[in-house]
Every structure is written in structure tokens, then in C-alpha cells.
Amino acid sequence: MQSRAGWPVWLSIAAGAVMFVHLYLAFVWSPPEQHMGNLVRIMYFHVPSAWNAFFAFFVTFVCAILYLRRRRLVYDLVSAASAEIGVLFTSITLVTGSLWARPIWNTWWTWDPRLTTTLILWFLYAGYFLLRASIDGRERRARVSAVFAIVAFADVPVIHMSVEWWRSIHPLAVDETGFNMPGSMAATLMFGFVAFMCLYGLFLALRVRQQRQAMELHELREAVRAARVRQEGQV
Amino acid sequence: MSGLRVFFRLVRKDLVVEFRGKRLWTSGLAFGVLLLVVMGIALNGASGLPADWSAGVLWLCVFFATAQGMSGRDRHDGEMGAWDGLMLAPVDRSLVFYARWAALSAFVLAAEAALVVAFFVIFNQPPPLRPGWFAGVMAAGAVALTGVSSFVATLSAASAMRDILVPVLLFPLAIPLFLAVIRLTVFSLQPAWSVPWVWVEVLAAYAAAFLLVPWLLFEPLMEV
Amino acid sequence: MLNDMGFLWAVTAVVWLGMLAYAVVLMRRQRRLQQELESLRRALDQFNPPSR
């Protein structure tokens, strides 16, 4: 038990250290931009959290498919845990985006396709948790929420393509020509992505472990109940 | 029995059940018209609303009325082992979905036609400039909307909160569709320069997606 | 410029506080789970003496 309790601590310390390095790179090492000045540094938080949100929902999507194919509950656990962290990252993306839009576009919110589709994404996965919370039976919940997760994921490519399909004021950080920015900024951005990915991995591992323990708890409860009934029967 | 015959029997079953209960028709229509009236009051007895607004109001009412009528649709199927009968049908299970979609589309279309009449009367709107487009958009929108909402209704059938969940899940899933039908309705109502093909494509993509998705995903939803 | 920095600080605070809040929630859930698991194990041991 002691050895199993160890890894979350070490992983948390490592993730925290990486986040501090990211802070240094974002605030000190990377240069300010010509037009936006220091505000460009918001990008190093906003863009990696968006990418990680999409990645988290991708994991949810893949695990949902795997669950429907293999019918092992662990895929459902990973799927749900990943969606939860995805919602966290999406919330952060929306809030930081709003805080960035205020000084740059002079508005907190605008009905830009990319913003709108990202907000829809948030609502879709909020609905996913409502759905999960209101279905009884592990297998049935896993099955129904897997189907919904697969359908909801369709929004992620739509967000990606929305900039090209409809006119958008949202800038493209990365397109088919590569990074539209100097090397040091691109490196910081990529480091931010890695740093947030470390956090994602940590959260996912912790959350999945919790879900497993919750299942164990459920079984223990049943066992205690059964033992109690047996004892009362003997008396 | 061939797939097609099963399909038509299933459609017939759904039509008969709906004719007996008139649940979707009455609840959808009463709710939709009431919503239109309330909207009219909220917009200060609006007449001569710009097309951008009136199209939005019309579709908002259609969406809510459909979502309202759709929740708890398959409650009848639980009675007298009807569901087990459906499960035993010797065809691909997605056929059950397609049949329901077809039957429900008929009712949503009928309710929508009445709603549109009420809309033009209550909101004092001039007749659409392009009636053909208008009718086409209303029909295509109703069919696509019914596809999405009957899928969502099946999805949340097992949920304890299904009456709330149907609209809550339907709206985010259907927002691009919502935008597309509103833009196309605006186009049919007022003079415009060019056909907004982007939105025609979105509408077609929706119809195609909900032709394909149930075939892939309906099976696991039908398991008990 | 000072105002710009304010937005940058706000973003940093949102990201860090958001992550920390989630971590705290995770830790609290974990503690509660662990406590409950242990109390249940103890309860089960009362029923099944370790002589088994």
C-alpha cells in the first residue's frame, strides 16, 4: 500500500515543477509581441488548455468506442475521467479567451464561430455529466454515455474547421505552413502544451484510481451487508 | 420478412400509436402556439419584425415544441412487452430508429404546418418571397430536427431526468442545424443577393449524419 | 501597459487557481474514499476474523 501511495506525490511534484518552468518561459524567456505587447503571453495559457481539452475529449471518444467494442468498465472509467478534465480545460480556455478578448477585441464575448462552437462543446459535455448522473446501473450508464460521447465528439473537428468554413476573427496560431510566430514563442507554446499535458496525465491517473476505488467501495459495501445478513441469520 | 416490410410495419405502428394518443401532435402544437403567443407579447405585440428576428422566433418555437413532444415518447413501448417484440424483430435494430424517425417526421411536419400558419397570423408577417424555398427549408429542417431529437430521446430514455435532458442535450447538438435553418428561412423571407449554400450544406450534413450515426450506434442503445 | 499586465495576471490566476481547485477537490474526494474504504475493511474484518 505504501508504494502505491507514493506515485501521486512524485507525479504531482514533477507536474508542479514543469508548470513553474512554463511560468518562467511564458513570463520571462519569451519576447513580447510587436502589436499586443505582453498580452501575447496569454496565448501560452489559452492555446495549450484548448489543445488539451480537445485531446481529453479525444481520449473520451476513443475509450467510448473501446468500451462499446470490448465492454470492459475500465474504458468507461477512463472515458468519464477524461471528459471531466476536458470540461475543466474547456472552462479555462473560455475564461482565459474572454480575458484576452477584452483588451484585444474590446469585448468579453463575440459570436465568432470558433468561440461559439467551443461554448457548445462545453454544454455538450456538461450534458454528458447530467446524463451520467441520472442513469442507474453501471453497464447501462457506460453504454449510453459512450454513445453520447461519440456523437458529442463531432463538435471538436467542427471547432477546428470553423475558422475555415465561416469567416472568423479568431487568429490561427498554427496552419499548414507551420507556426506563424518566431521560434522562441513557438517553443514556449509547445512547452506549455507539454506542461498542461503532464497535468492532464496526473489528473487522469488520479481520477481513474478514484473511480476504481469507488467501485471497490461499492463491492465492499455489498460484502459488509451480506456478512451482516449472514450473522443475523445465525443469531 | 424483408427489411422494407418490417420498416413499413414499424412506421404504421408508430403512426397508429400516435393517432390514438395524439401526444406529440397536441402537446407539440399547443405548446408551440402558446410559445408563439408569449413571444409576441414579449416582443410587444410585434408586427413587422425584421426577417432575422421572426425566423429565429419561429424556429425557436418549433425546436421547443418538438423537444417537448419528444420527451417520454417511447414510454408506450415499455407496456405489454412491446419493447421485447421490437427487440425480437429479425432485422437490423437501427431500422427501428429509422421507422420511428419517419413516423415522427410526419407528425412534426403536420404540427409545424399549423405552427407556421399561426406564426404568419400572430406576427402579421408578409408572405415569404420564395415560397418554394420556404416550404423546402421547413420540411428539411423538420426532418433533420426530428432525427436529432428522436436520437436524443432514445439516448435519455434510461435517464431519470429524461424530460429535462431531451432539450438540454438536443440544443447543443442541434445548434448548427438551428443556425442553418434560420439563415435559410431568412433567405426565403426577404430579398437577398445569393443563395447561402454553406447553410444548405450544413443542413445536408445533418441529415446525412443522422442517417449514418444510428446505423452505427443504435444497437448498443437498444440493449436492456 | 499596466492594464494589459492586469489581464495577464488574471489569466495566470485563473489557470493556476483552476488547476489547484481541481487538485484540492480530487484530494478531498480521495481522503473521503480512503476513510470509507478503511472503515468498511475494518467492519468486514469484524465479521470475518483473520483466522480464515
> pLDDT (tens digit, 0 to 9) for every residue of chain A, 235 residues total?
444 557 878 888 888 888 888 888 887 887 777 777 777 788 888 889 999 999 999 999 999 999 998 888 889 999 999 999 999 999 999 999 888 888 888 888 888 778 888 899 999 999 999 999 888 888 888 998 999 999 889 888 888 777 666 666 677 666 656 666 777 788 888 888 899 998 999 999 999 999 888 888 988 888 888 888 888 877 6
- Interatomic CA distance for residues B26 and C8, integer angstroms: 54
User: Is A8 part of a structural domain of the chain?
Assistant: no
Does a structural domain hold residue A160?
Answer: yes
CA count, 13 A, side-chain hemisphere, A121: 33
- Residue B198's DSSP bridge partners are none
Between B19 and C36, name the one with better pLDDT: C36
Q: Tell me whether residue A175 is in a domain.
A: yes
Structural domains counted in chain C: 1
pLDDT higher than threshold 60 for residue C50: no
Number of domains chain B is built from: 1
Tell me whether residues A95 and C14 touch, CB distance under 8 A.
Answer: yes
Asked if the C-beta of A154 comes within 8 angstroms of chain B's C-beta atoms, the answer is yes
pLDDT at C2: 47
**Chain B residues with beta carbon closer than 8 angstroms to that of A146:** 220
CATH of the domain at A66: 1.20.120
Strands (E), B50-92: none
- Closest chain B residue to A131, measured at CA: B159
Does any domain span residue A170? yes
pLDDT tens by residue, A63-109: 999 999 888 888 999 999 999 999 999 999 999 988 888 888 888 88
Mean pLDDT, residues C25-39 taken together: 90
Within a domain: residue A201?
yes
Q: Are A69 and A112 in contact (CB under 8 A)?
A: no
**What's the pLDDT score for residue B217?**
81
> Above 80 in pLDDT, residue C42?
yes
CB within 8 Å: A45 and C11: yes
Residue to mutate among A116, A151, A167, with most B CBs inside 10 A, is A151
* pLDDT confidence bin for C52, thresholds 50/70/90: very low
Q: Does C5 touch chain A (CB under 8 A)?
A: yes
Q: Which residues of chain B have pLDDT under 50?
A: none
The verdict on residue A7 lying in a domain is no
Question: Is residue A66 within 8 angstroms of chain B, CB to CB?
Answer: no
Query: Domain span at residue B63?
Result: 3-222
Q: Which residues contact A172 (CB under 8 A, 6 or more apart)?
A: A163, A180
pLDDT of B27 reads: 74
Provide long-range contacts, Cβ within 8 A and 24+ apart, for B114-119: B114/B29, B114/B33, B115/B29, B115/B32, B115/B33, B115/B36, B115/B58, B115/B61, B115/B62, B115/B65, B116/B58, B118/B32, B118/B33, B118/B36, B119/B36, B119/B54, B119/B57, B119/B58, B119/B61
Number of domains in chain A: 1
> Is A104 in CB contact (< 8 Å) with chain B?
no
Reported confidence tier of residue C1, pLDDT bands at 50, 70, 90? very low
Mutation target for A interface from C3, C5, C7: give the one with most A CBs within 10 A.
C7
Do the chains contact at A147 and B155, CB–CB below 8 Å? yes
ipTM attached to this prediction: 0.81
**Domain enclosing residue C27, as ranges:** 1-46
- For A54, the domain range is 18-234
Q: Per the domain annotation, does A47 fall within a domain? A: yes
How far is Cα of residue C17 from the mean position of the Cα atoms in its chain? 14
Q: Are the beta carbons of B173 and A124 separated by less than 8 Å? A: yes
Reference B23, options B75, B85, B80; nearest CA is B75
